[in-house]
């Protein structure tokens, strides 16, 4: 059933007395831009529907931004950059970011509901990972900016009096944040947190699939008194829409992007105009490597999570699994049993633990790879289709967790990022063989490696061409560490001091003594 889309003001609901829940409902139905501290429908008059991934019912109507909205957001961000935001001391800014994190925590349930509505993923993923990490993204980078020193050198001079060189950090300016749909709040705040901590102002272009939490964050910013124009959101699509207008805008000083590699290529071209700096976190085709000496149960659980969490929609996820031959059959059987035990259902259904894909289009893409695997000669160990769902859920974007074996390394499903709940498992015999296979890809984001052999773990970690290697773990993150991809998985590193490198300009001051 399609819920009515009501403008509460137009039907006489006294907006002054609306409860927070009603406000949330309002935002979920009528998602606006957030520009200069105000929610606005903008001037294009264009809107598009937000559909629920679980049943494809229309659950929201999103304002589509055009050039005018991007211009207004850039103007607001530039005013704030030189005005109220710049006027704050670092201490005050840090305190404000702590207040943002606390307000997110206070409105935790609203964020969980908003993100669940957008993604259809189970409540526990939102409650334990995505929303807490969103709050942490503000506190951690507030701490980093407060505690990381800048360099200083004493320099010898011919007259013997010397000189002092020291660095100061200045905000880079107005940052364009273009984010994806797979972990919307976590990934967006991972950029907004450090950008604001460093004194920049931001314009976020959330994914057209998942605009809710970016809008809610606007409420949080106003509630804690973040100056107008510091945080802005313009909704819309990519090409010839808000995404492209933002990344081409000369008033944007740097762009941080998370999404597909081919989108990154387009944004890089846009950023070349004006030689703006970019930070890119992009696709992956990550390898999971399991040695026979591993803790078997832990390895099965770890690979299961890395291949199937969030319905496989995780950039760090594992779509290629290599298992040492002596335990290959046992491993495939154990992973199959876990994949077949998932229970599909709505996010709040306590009997369910598995969600749908984000959209019909993405479901079709993933299913096309399921068909291609069969054409390419795969043995389908489990899955390969759509689970049987009843009632309204039959309309949702469900797919079965899928495991293949028997394909050559040249097969499309072994080479291309699918971004669904699927993996190909292949046996290996030697370290050299598995290193070569793991590295034989255009991507280089992450690896998860399972072994109890300490020296081998270090050896392998140094040889695999990725931004992060997890040993006997997966998705265990410390936000102070470098994060990013090698090869076509990214440009630059963020996290801890690395974020400061991107979000500030380091200036050197040289004083002759
Ligand atoms: P996407 O590239 O389709 O879209 C990401 C964002 O870019 C969206 O907001 C979209 O509207 C915008 N966009 C699209 N075309 C644009 C253009 N020409 N100019 C400006 N903006 C444009 O990615 P997605 O489908 O939303 O997300 C899935 C992808 O993200 C996967 O490839 C995944 O691996 C990757 N990802 C990477 C990381 C990482 O940390 N490396 C994290 C999460 C997701």
pLDDT digits (tens, 9 = 90+) for 479-491: 999 999 999 999 9
Which residues are CB-neighbours of 331 under 8 A, at least 6 positions away? 290, 296, 299, 300, 323, 425
CA dihedral 499→501→505→511, nearest 10 degrees, is: 130
CA 236 to ligand 1: nearest atom: 11
pLDDT greater than 50 at residue 5: no
Does the annotation mark 319 as catalytic? no
CA of 179 to the centre of ligand 1 (A): 6
pLDDT greater than 80 at residue 123: yes
- The pTM of this model reads 0.94
Is 379 exposed, middle or buried, given 0-12, 13-18 or 19+ CB atoms closer than 10 A?
middle
Q: What is the pLDDT of residue 339?
A: 98
CA of 413 to the centre of ligand 1 (A): 20
Show the tokens assigned to 247: 């990344």
CA of 263 to the centre of ligand 1 (A): 6
Q: What Cα–Cα distance (Å) separates residue 408 from each residue in 320, 378, 420?
A: 12, 9, 20
User: Closest Cα to residue 48, out of 207, 231, 172, 197?
Assistant: 207
d(CA 108, CA 132) in angstroms, rounded, equals 8
pLDDT greater than 50 at residue 14: no
Q: What is the pLDDT of residue 8?
A: 30
Could you tell me which residues are beta bridge partners of residue 170? 505
Q: What is the pLDDT of residue 109?
A: 96
CA dihedral 179→180→185→187, nearest 10 degrees, is: -70
Question: For 318-343, what is the mean pLDDT?
Answer: 98
Residue 447 and residue 284 in contact, taking contact as beta carbons nearer than 8 Å: no
Q: DSSP string spanning 333-380?
A: HHHHHHHHT--B--TT-TT--B---S-HHHHHHHHHHHHHHHHTT-EE
Show the tokens assigned to 485: 């991809």
> 406 pLDDT band (50/70/90 cuts)?
very high
pLDDT greater than 70 at residue 111: yes
| pLDDT greater at residue 384 or residue 9 | 384
CA of 314 to the centre of ligand 1 (A): 12
Q: What is the pLDDT of residue 15?
A: 40
Q: What is the pLDDT of residue 1?
A: 27
The catalytic position among 198, 294, 315, 423 is: 315
| Ordered domains of the chain (ranges, CATH) | 66-282+490-509 (3.40.605.10), 286-477 (3.40.309.10)
175-198 pLDDT, tens digit per residue, is 999 999 999 999 999 999 999 999
> 209 pLDDT band (50/70/90 cuts)?
very high
d(CA 376, CA 388) in angstroms, rounded, equals 25
Phi/psi of residue 2, nearest 5 degrees: -90, 115
Residue 119 and residue 238 in contact, taking contact as beta carbons nearer than 8 Å: no
Question: For 438-452, what is the mean pLDDT?
Answer: 98
CA dihedral 93→94→99→102, nearest 10 degrees, is: 150
Is 127 exposed, middle or buried, given 0-12, 13-18 or 19+ CB atoms closer than 10 A?
middle
How many C-beta atoms lie closer than 10 Å to residue 161's C-beta? 9
d(CA 461, CA 122) in angstroms, rounded, equals 33
Is 128 exposed, middle or buried, given 0-12, 13-18 or 19+ CB atoms closer than 10 A?
exposed
Q: What is the pLDDT of residue 29?
A: 75
> 7 pLDDT band (50/70/90 cuts)?
very low
Residue 40, classed as helix, strand or coil, is strand
Counted residue by residue, the chain has a size of 513
CA 283 to ligand 1: nearest atom: 34
User: Closest Cα to residue 353, out of 339, 366, 363?
Assistant: 339
Pocket of ligand 1 (CB under 6 A): 178-182, 187, 205, 207-208, 237-239, 243-244, 247, 258-260, 263, 266-267, 281-284, 315, 417, 419, 445, 485, 489-490
User: Closest Cα to residue 193, out of 133, 264, 127, 233?
Assistant: 133
Residue 493 and residue 268 in contact, taking contact as beta carbons nearer than 8 Å: no
């Amino acid at each position: 059933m399609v819920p009515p889309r009501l403008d509460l003001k137009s039907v006489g609901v006294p907006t002054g007395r609306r409860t927070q829940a009603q406000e949330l409902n309002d935002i979920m139905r009528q998602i606006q831009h957030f520009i200069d501290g105000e929610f606005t429908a903008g001037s294009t008059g264009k809107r598009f529907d937000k559909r629920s991934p679980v049943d494809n019912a229309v659950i929201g109507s999103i304002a589509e931004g055009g050039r005018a909205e991007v211009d207004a957001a850039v103007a607001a961000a530039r005013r704030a950059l030189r005005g109220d935001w710049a006027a704050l001391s670092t201490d005050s800014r840090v305190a404000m970011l702590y207040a943002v994190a606390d307000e997110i925590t206070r409105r935790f349930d609203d964020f969980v509901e908003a993100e669940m509505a957008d993604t259809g993923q189970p409540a526990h993923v939102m409650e334990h990972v995505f929303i807490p990490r969103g709050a942490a993204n503000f506190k951690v980078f507030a701490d980093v900016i407060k505690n990381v020193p800048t360099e200083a050198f004493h320099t010898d001079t011919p007259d013997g009096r010397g000189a002092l060189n020291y660095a100061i950090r200045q905000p880079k300016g107005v940052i364009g944040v273009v984010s994806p749909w797979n972990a919307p709040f976590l990934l967006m705040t991972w950029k907004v947190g450090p950008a604001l901590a460093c004194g920049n102002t931001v314009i976020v272009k959330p994914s057209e699939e998942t605009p809710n939490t970016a809008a809610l964050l606007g409420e949080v910013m106003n509630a804690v008194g973040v100056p107008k124009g510091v945080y802005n959101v313009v909704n819309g699509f990519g090409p010839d829409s808000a995404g492209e207008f933002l990344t081409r805008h000369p008033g944007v000083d740097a762009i941080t992007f998370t999404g597909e590699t081919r989108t990154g290529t387009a944004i890089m071209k846009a950023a070349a105009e004006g030689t703006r700096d970019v930070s890119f976190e992009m696709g992956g085709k990550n390898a999971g490597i399991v040695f026979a000496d591993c803790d078997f149960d832990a390895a099965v659980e770890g690979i299961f999570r890395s291949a199937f969490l969030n319905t496989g929609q995780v950039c760090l996820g594992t779509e290629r699994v290599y298992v040492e031959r002596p335990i290959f059959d046992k491993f495939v059987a154990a992973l199959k049993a876990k994949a077949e035990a998932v229970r599909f259902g709505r996010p709040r259904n306590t009997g369910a633990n598995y969600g749908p894909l984000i959209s019909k289009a993405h479901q079709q893409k993933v299913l096309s790879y399921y068909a291609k695997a069969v054409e390419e000669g795969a043995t389908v160990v489990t899955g390969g289709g759509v689970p049987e769902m009843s009632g309204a859920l039959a309309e949702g974007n469900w797919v079965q967790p899928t495991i293949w074996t028997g394909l050559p390394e040249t097969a499309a499903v072994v080479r291309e990022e699918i971004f669904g709940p699927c993996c190909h498992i292949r046996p290996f015999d030697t370290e050299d063989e598995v290193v070569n296979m793991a590295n034989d890809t255009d991507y280089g984001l992450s690896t998860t490696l399972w072994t109890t052999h300490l020296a081998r773990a270090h050896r392998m970690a140094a040889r695999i061409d990725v931004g992060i290697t997890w040993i006997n773990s997966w998705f265990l993150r410390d936000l102070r560490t470098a994060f990013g991809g090698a090869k076509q998985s990214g440009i630059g590193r963020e996290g801890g001091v690395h974020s400061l490198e991107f979000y500030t300009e380091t200036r050197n001051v040289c004083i002759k003594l």
